[in-house]
Amino acid sequence: MTRQQQVVIVGGGVIGLLTAYNLASEVRSVVLLDRSNVGQESSWAGGGIVSPLYPWRYSPAVTALAHWSQDFYPQLGERLFADTGIDPEVHTTGLYWLDLEDEAEALAWAERENRPLRAVDISAAHDAVPVLGGGFSRAIYMADVANVRNPRLVKSLKAALLALPNVTIHEQCEVSGFVREGERVVGVETSRGVISGDQVVLTAGAWSGDLLKTLDLTLPVEPVKGQMILYKCAADFLSSMVLAKGRYAIPRRDGHILIGSTLEHEGYDKTPTDVALQSLKASAVELLPALAEAEVVGHWAGLRPGSPEGIPYIGRVPGFEGLWLNCGHYRNGLVLAPASCQLFADVMLGRAPIIDPAPYAPAGRI
């Protein structure tokens, strides 16, 4: 691919935003399109833990992306803050997993992958996190796990892109299909008319499969609903992230505490429900009993881009010259974004890749 090309990116979540950010200095121009406002779907709705919830349960393909991203996130946050004045708040708190059924597997994974995960006495967990509930008997802890304040990451990435003279962002611009010349994709059909591009990148999250259907391609990416709630406590209320029974508590620097999340196959319905609210509140109080006296200040739902084994699709679409994918990150879009977008840029630009791109290639998977 030559540097004198225009790249059209369909989907303005964190994956689309960061893809644009990585490509902008390497191509003539980037046009980023979003059906609503950038970053308002799963990128906004997620918790922002910079780790898969249970990293030892994932394939080596997910682990490779996660490790690279975890190491890179602090410098990404610093660079965006310096460039835009908007701090994504990459906040290293550590993470306690409580009463795991597969604790032995987790510790074996940590030794194999050389990650700083270790068993700790439950009394040590209570000393470190005094507000932790009393109903737990075992804990493991990884000290270097961070969380990123995803709404601020979105704002920072958007501001960084708007400052670049060769990047255009079109919000409220829905893409309905692709423009082709023979076997080549040369643009997209949108609510604002045709937008042409030398290369088209699909980063539309849960909607990516629907768009590929217009080319008679089947991409096994589907929406998976997740609901979360938010409390506001004192800034020093919770010192570390905690996770038990599939539910987690995430502290922000200003005392906001996120509790998540549900896992629901409800199509594109992202209506918050009272059933989920009560379930999340019960989990919150089990983890942190003092939250029984706190007020829920937010409750929302988002749609994850579910994919087989959570392995994203990164690379060229076979049979359609000029069409690329960077989508299908399931529960780990925020975790994997830095590595996924760096790997995507490496593959598109013909550079030596940061990791082996083969497990993510669309060829043979769609």
What is the tens place of the pLDDT at every residue in 178-216?
999 999 999 999 999 999 999 999 999 999 999 999 999
| Chain segment 244-282, per-residue pLDDT in tens | 999 999 999 999 999 999 999 999 999 999 999 999 999
Tokens of 305: 């881009």
Q: How far apart are CA 337 and CA 1, in angstroms?
A: 23
Residue range 74-98: mean pLDDT, rounded: 97
Residue range 233-242: mean pLDDT, rounded: 97
Q: What is the mean pLDDT of the chain?
A: 97
CATH class, 6-46+152-220+309-360 region: alpha beta
Considering only CA atoms, which of 214, 209, 213, 203 is closest in space to residue 7?
Answer: 203
Percent of the chain with pLDDT over 70: 99
Please indicate whether the domains covering 6-46+152-220+309-360 and 95-143+222-306 agree at the CATH topology level. no
**Sequence spans of domains, the chain:** 6-46+152-220+309-360, 95-143+222-306
Which CATH code is given to the segment(s) 95-143+222-306?
3.30.9.10
pLDDT of residue 171: 98
* pLDDT band at residue 4 under the 50/70/90 scheme: confident
Residue range 159-188: mean pLDDT, rounded: 97
pLDDT of residue 327: 98
| Full-model pTM | 0.97
